[in-house]
């Protein structure tokens, strides 16, 4: 990622959820490219130590007074919004929790932006807005038919942004529809760090470390070559770089757009399990379980648009390289946690 450091030197960027997995990688890149991030996170799933640069404020996006004061204090003109719940299964069980946090709180944030002169908004969206696409790879013109409340809550936020931008010419946005973010900072400074991780790769690696007794594979009867679900796994470093390009695009082009973020390469659940076993050298237990509600059979990106419009040129590492970066991070976490696990009492 080569950003225009002269143009961005010293500019404050408000990053909501910037202490979380993807947000913290973006904050890292912002700092390394001359920006000064202002991170707002309630630490419900993030970690303050993951904020490697800028200023950290512990607080909630639902706090409208706090949002306004931060925007005025730091003369915020650009916002990156990551603060959201992301677990598909939980969204099916607790849909209103997802619409309240992911949709209503996004509405509150947009209102604060409009009231305080924010011009650029980068939204962390998801491929879950597509539901079960008829054609794979899926492009941005595909029908938006989410099959779970997580995808539905993100689609509502996209609609809010679309309509707010149409009614307010000085406000524009980029929505980045993530496919499956995976891996970790290659220097093992950052990575996934959830108490109860639901991401397949993270659970596989923690199973290899003995933190879980077995890895469950949810669904082996999908209409795919090996019967397990297929996903497009994108290294978090490549995903982070797309956010800085999106910011530059908004400043230069002053128009709103939506882009897929993926490699266009599908890997099945069993592919990921095999890669985890190769990289770790550990043959951890795997059991088959029923499908989870709300999981489509295959989601793979057509990401040609972001390459053409933003000049995004991802590294596209081999699946084993993605796994290796995450494994390096998981081993670091295990060493950090070892003294606590050995402590008496």
Query: Could you report the per-residue pLDDT of 120-129, keeping only the tens digit for each?
Result: 999 999 999 9
**Do residues 135 and 250 share a domain?**
yes
| pLDDT > 70: percent of the chain | 95
- Give the domain CATH number at 218: 3.90.25.10
* Three-class secondary structure assignment of 94-114: CHHHHHHHHHHHHHHHHHHHH
Return the pLDDT at 338. Answer: 62
The answer to whether the bond into 137 is cis (omega within 30° of 0) is yes
206 lies in some domain: yes
Q: Sorting pLDDT into bands at 50, 70 and 90, what band is 345?
A: very low
pLDDT exceeds 70 at position 4: no
186 lies in some domain: no
Closest by Cα among 175, 166, 170 to 254: 170
Report the C-alpha gap between 23 and 14 in whole angstroms: 11
pLDDT exceeds 80 at position 2: no
Return the pLDDT at 288. Answer: 96
Report the C-alpha gap between 90 and 132 in whole angstroms: 19
The structure tokens listed for 24 are 């913290």
Per the listing, tokens 């489509």 go with: 296
Which among 21, 150, 173, 233 is annotated as catalytic?
150
**Do residues 251 and 141 share a domain?**
yes
Please give the tally of structural domains in the chain: 2
Least confident of 89-93, 98-102, 285-289, 322-326: 89-93
Element (H, E) at 163: helix 149-167
What are the pLDDT digits (tens) for 171-206?
999 999 999 999 999 999 999 998 788 899 999 999
pLDDT exceeds 60 at position 5: no
- Give the domain CATH number at 247: 3.40.50.720
What are the pLDDT digits (tens) for 44-88?
999 999 999 999 999 999 999 999 999 999 999 999 999 999 999
Q: Is 130 a catalytic residue?
A: no
Mean predicted lDDT score pLDDT of the chain: 94
**Do residues 155 and 142 share a domain?**
yes
| pLDDT > 90: percent of the chain | 90
187 lies in some domain: no
pLDDT exceeds 90 at position 9: no
Average pLDDT over residues 272-294: 95
pLDDT exceeds 80 at position 207: yes
284 lies in some domain: yes
Quote the domain boundaries for residue 101: 9-181+234-261
**Do residues 40 and 79 share a domain?**
yes
Rg, C-alpha atoms of the chain: 20
Q: Sorting pLDDT into bands at 50, 70 and 90, what band is 292?
A: confident
Return the pLDDT at 151. Answer: 96
- Entry pTM: 0.94
Average pLDDT over residues 116-142: 96
Average pLDDT over residues 255-269: 97
Closest by Cα among 265, 257, 324 to 300: 265
């Amino acid at each position: 990622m080569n950003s225009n450091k002269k143009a961005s030197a010293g500019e404050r960027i408000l990053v909501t959820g910037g202490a979380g997995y993807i947000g913290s990688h973006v904050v890292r890149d912002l700092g390394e490219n001359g920006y000064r991030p202002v991170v707002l996170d309630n630490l419900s799933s993030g970690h303050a130590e993951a904020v490697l640069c800028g200023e950290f404020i512990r607080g909630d996006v639902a706090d409208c007074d706090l949002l306004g004061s931060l925007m005025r204090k730091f003369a915020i003109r650009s916002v990156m919004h990551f603060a959201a719940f992301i677990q598909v299964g939980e969204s099916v069980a607790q849909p209103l929790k997802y619409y309240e946090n992911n949709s209503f709180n996004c509405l509150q944030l947009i209102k604060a932006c409009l009231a305080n002169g924010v011009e650029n908004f980068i939204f962390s969206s998801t491929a879950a807005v597509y539901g079960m696409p008829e054609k794979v790879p899926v492009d941005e013109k595909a029908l938006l038919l989410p099959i779970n409340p997580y995808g539905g809550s993100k689609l509502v936020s996209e609609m809010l942004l679309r309509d707010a931008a149409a009614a307010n010419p000085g406000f524009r946005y980029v929505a980045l529809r993530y496919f499956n973010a995976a891996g970790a900072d290659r220097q093992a400074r950052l990575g996934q760090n959830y108490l109860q991780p639901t991401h397949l790769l993270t659970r596989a690696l923690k199973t290899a470390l003995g933190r879980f007794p077995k890895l469950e594979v949810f669904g082996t009867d999908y209409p795919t070559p090996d019967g397990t679900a297929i996903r497009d796994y994108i290294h978090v470093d490549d995903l982070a770089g797309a956010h800085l390009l999106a910011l530059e695009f908004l400043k230069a082009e002053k128009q709103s757009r939506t882009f897929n973020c993926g490699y266009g390469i599908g890997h099945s659940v069993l592919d990921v399990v095999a890669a985890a076993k190769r990289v770790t050298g550990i043959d951890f237990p795997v059991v088959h379980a029923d499908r989870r509600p709300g999981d489509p059979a295959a989601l793979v990106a057509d990401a040609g648009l972001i390459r053409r419009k933003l000049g995004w040129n991802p590294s596209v590492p081999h699946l084993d390289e993605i796994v290796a970066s995450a494994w390096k991070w998981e081993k670091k976490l295990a060493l950090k946690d070892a003294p606590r696990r050995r402590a008496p009492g």
